[in-house]
Copies of this chain bind each other. A is one copy, B any other.
Amino acid sequence: MLHVLTIDEALSRLLRHVRPIVRQEILPIDQCVGRVLALAIKSTVDVPGFVRSSVDGLAVRASDTFGASDSLPAMLSHVGTVQMGQIPAFAIGPGECASVPTGGAIPEGADAMVMIEHVEQPGGTLCLVNRAAAPGDHLVRRGDDLQTGQTILPAGHRVRTGDIGTFAALALDRIPVIAKPRVAILSTGDELVPVGQTLLPGQVHDINSPALAALVRQAGGEANLRGIIPDQLDRLDLALKKAVSDCDLVLVSGGSSVGEKDHLQAAIAAQGQPGILFHGLAVKPGKPTLAGVADGRILLGLPGHPLAAWFMAYLLARPLILALQGAPPAGPDIVIARTTSRIPSNTGRESILPVRLAGQPDEPGSYSAEPIFTKSGLITVLSKCDGFIRIERDREGLEAGTLVAVHLLR
């Protein structure tokens, strides 16, 4: 008997065949969240570009304040006020000071700020400072935050919302990103009709095309919907040839179990070398998943069953789409929770089980994870669950109260 791969084995085998995309595009910063950087982002400037105050108060020469206290304040002469957005035209000499707002530029000659709370102005230009300042107090020096040439984000970084401020701070308004992987999505099955169309008896809607397209888009791919292909070897072969020629990844659902009319394995094998990588996985749901490679393009054959197809696409296609963009695996998307009931599992196959979360995340295990069992695993369970748990193949189920890692769905 063939060794049946686990999901993780299948994924690492697939990842070895990924040829990262080199096509790039330049996007305005308001369009690049979720995209992957084509080049490292380096600072081209010093930030801040001038010495700034981090408080409201007086710019002073620190040595003028040494020994100052409430009972013996330093007496300084006020020589000016710095305006926001301007470099002061005056300098601070010995015994002098100037008002500077938070973020304002420090005049030449000054080397510290005294907070406004520690200053009294009895009249005229006289300022009384009742606290000693050390050189550098409350100053942000040129380049303190960033120096010219410093790498801020590496190539391959997936842009997050929080990065937009970073780009703006670096005065970047256009960002080079990797082009979106083109992902062909095909459904096979003579019983399928598109969602907009009325069903005749015995027909079912093609759920996989729109469901997988949403997943592809979320992973940063461009969903190329190729429609429903009749379950005939020649038609399937032709559709796959076209998809391999103009897409970076091919997802086909249906036709991968061993029914009479399932020509998918033959059609994938016919696309080129090295051909089939695996057929069948040790997981439930998702067993009939298969994959092949032709001309450096991966073809992933997903189960026809929508929930199984979705989970296999989530666990296999999503990381491939990220890898095509040269992005590291997505960050943690997991919470720890305690199971609310005993969960049986098939020994010998990994189980993927949708769960609902309850509780507050204030401490580990304070979430509870309630398994959602469905008779036929209808796709709507994805709307009812918060995430899923994976039960290893050799584990005979989980007792209630077990701590589990819940993969959150978004």
Residues of B within 8 A of A202 (CB): 50, 83-87, 104-105
How near does chain B come to A172, taking the closest CB pair, in angstroms?
8
Count A interface residues, CB 8 Å: 103
Partner of A84, one of B153, B167, B261: B261
How near does chain B come to A98, taking the closest CB pair, in angstroms?
13
Contact residues of A between 149 and 164, Cβ < 8 Å to B? 152-153, 157, 160-164
Partner of A380, one of B84, B152, B205, B382: B152
Q: Is the CB of A29 within 8 A of B210?
A: yes
Bound-state CA distance A214–B161 (Å) is 6
Q: Is the CB of B362 within 8 A of A405?
A: yes
Contact residues of A between 388 and 410, Cβ < 8 Å to B? 403, 405, 408-410
Q: Is the CB of A103 within 8 A of B56?
A: no
Residues of B within 8 A of A165 (CB): 207-208, 210-211, 214, 306-307, 310, 379-380, 382
How near does chain B come to A225, taking the closest CB pair, in angstroms?
9
Query: Known contacts being A191-B85, A379-B165, is A204 close to B103, with CB within 8 Å?
Result: yes
Residues of B within 8 A of A164 (CB): 210-211, 213-214
Residues of B within 8 A of A9 (CB): none
Bound-state CA distance A190–B307 (Å) is 56
Counting every copy of the chain, the complex holds 2
Residues of B within 8 A of A87 (CB): 201-202
Q: Is the CB of B379 within 8 A of A205?
A: no
Q: Is the CB of A190 within 8 A of B84?
A: yes
Residues of B within 8 A of A258 (CB): 56
Q: Is the CB of B144 within 8 A of A376?
A: yes
Is A357's beta carbon under 8 Å from chain B? yes
Residues of B within 8 A of A50 (CB): 201-202
Is A315's beta carbon under 8 Å from chain B? no
Q: Is the CB of B190 within 8 A of A380?
A: no
Query: Known contacts being A145-B376, A161-B410, A336-B363, is A56 close to B259, with CB within 8 Å?
Result: yes
Is A304's beta carbon under 8 Å from chain B? yes
Partner of A146, one of B30, B260, B378: B378
- Chain-B contact segment, one of A70-78, A120-128, A192-200, A265-273: A192-200
Contact residues of A between 168 and 208, Cβ < 8 Å to B? 168-173, 189-192, 195-196, 199, 201-208
Show 29 A/B contacts (Cβ-Cβ < 8 Å), sorted by A: A29-B195, A30-B217, A30-B223, A48-B204, A56-B257, A83-B190, A83-B202, A85-B192, A101-B259, A102-B305, A103-B189, A103-B305, A145-B374, A145-B375, A146-B380, A160-B409, A161-B217, A162-B409, A163-B383, A164-B210, A164-B213, A165-B307, A168-B210, A168-B379, A169-B207, A172-B195, A333-B408, A334-B335, A364-B364
Give the interface of A toward B (CB within 8 A): 29-30, 33, 47-50, 54, 56, 83-87, 101-105, 140, 144-146, 152-153, 157, 160-173, 189-192, 195-196, 199, 201-211, 213-215, 217-218, 223, 231, 257-261, 304-307, 310, 331-336, 357, 361-365, 367, 374-376, 378-380, 382-383, 385-386, 403, 405, 408-410
Q: 6 shortest A-B CB distances, which residue pairs?
A: A162-B382, A85-B191, A165-B211, A364-B364, A145-B378, A164-B214
